[in-house]
Structure 1
Amino acid sequence: MWTVVALWRYPLKSARGEALKAADVEWTGLRGDRTWACIDPLDGTVGSAKQPRRWGRLLDVGTTMRDNGPETMVTLHVDGTSVRAGSDAADVALSKHLGRPVRLSRDLPPDARLHRTLPDDAGMVPDWMDAARPGQETITAIAGAGRVGRFVDFGAVHIVTTGALSLLGERMGGVRVAAERFRPNLVIDAPRDPEPGQELRLGDVVLRVVLPTPRCAIPGLAQAELPADRSVLSTLARHYRVPVAGLGRAACFGTYADVVQPGQLRLGQLVH
């Protein structure tokens, strides 16, 4: 039987996640997940560690969220200081930490876009970006902004499985690969990833798998206690290029899912 072995939410896009024992799941994903983002005041783009030179240090920023009735309060932990998201102090602290002026926002830009630097391995460049070169910086739309209404890349919920992580580790020479590298919402103890179109029932929550998750540079970056490891990306490029929703092939790991029925999730939840 499949079970949920980890739950994560990321109140600030590209910042460190918050491990949970239980989570409310809304139509748009885990409550509080990726509801805030850094906005570059110079061009209006959304801050993402997909462009490590500009935004990689977001991965060092901690986050905690506290529910207060219908509202939530997100606290950021930046260089030993705790500040409330939405305050002037948070903008100042993040601007100093990142070395560039930023402002925090919960409002999605009408044309949400982000800077990204493509990995150096050609196998990490998806077919639908065939005009781009490895290592090139480009600006792309955030598809999940329109689909979900949050600062998510595509689906409302991101899933990885223990079986897929184990196989990736074998292909990397028998190492343990931490799920945190892939910034999932759910880690499911299962021998393989669910297929697009499958529905997963987790208690009263129902998720529908949409497509495999195309990967960017982030899994190879240093994150929290995890050191940088570019071999993750080279292994994905060699072994994980698969078709994605008629768009062509891309190096993918994990799956995106949409919410069919909201409810509450908890650690140890059985998955049918």
Structure 2
Amino acid sequence: MKDLIAVYEAGDEDGRLAKSRNWVEWERTCEVLRRWLPGPPGRILDVGGASGRYASWLTGLGYTMHVLDPVPRHVAQARARGLDASEGDARDLGFPDGWADAVLLLGPLYHLPEASDRTRALAEAARICAPGGVVIAAAMSRWAKPAEFAAHRNLADLDVQRHLLRLLDHGHDPDGDAFDQTSYNHDPDQLRSELVDAGFIDIDVVGVEGPLGSFARQDPELNQVALSAARASEHLVPHLSLHLLARGGVG
């Protein structure tokens, strides 16, 4: 956990989603959240909610939000937005059973390389979500990596090729950079299976940025066509999206 905190303390997660290169990710995530979340009002726990950009937007829609994040800098930024926020770990949430009407895991699963830790995080989310509620989790897709590296035009680099093959084979590269060492990349079917094993019902998995997302990140003039492609292909080729979103109902 210390390594993960160091990565985000040194970065600018607060500004990331405000950049035009990440516009498709923001737009698609917001539209899927509006589709899957129960209508407001309702209480939502945003686990791994970082600086609270999504929580702030959802507050504007009428939800009561609490942001939980392991990074002190993120918690301070969320509080500066006027949000309730506290430090915490997705694997041990510390909230009562049935406390929330919905739980967001828009980051924890791709920072838990060990399957047992992801299992704990999903179980905790299910525990504190009231019956009839929903848990929405984000993941990174390993199969989007070839397009991502091709868009960066660095696939000719042998080190990049080795890194790519590790991600495709294992979803994780312990010899990568600081972010890679703390991250995990799913297969969409694997993500669905993890939700099934956690006891969720009415499960759905969609791609977020679609097959053109990596290229739009390099050329924001492609944002609109990438958004249209993402909407059209969300169930057809979710594995080609940089990010996945999964929905699981709580019975």
Instruction: Place the TM-score, normalised by the shorter chain, in its bin.
Output: 0.3 to 0.5
- Larger relative contact order (Cα-Cα within 8 Å, sequence gap ≥ 6): 1
Provide TM-score, normalisation by structure 1: 0.31
Provide TM-score, normalisation by structure 2: 0.32
* Higher share of residues assigned strand: 1
* Higher share of residues assigned helix: 2
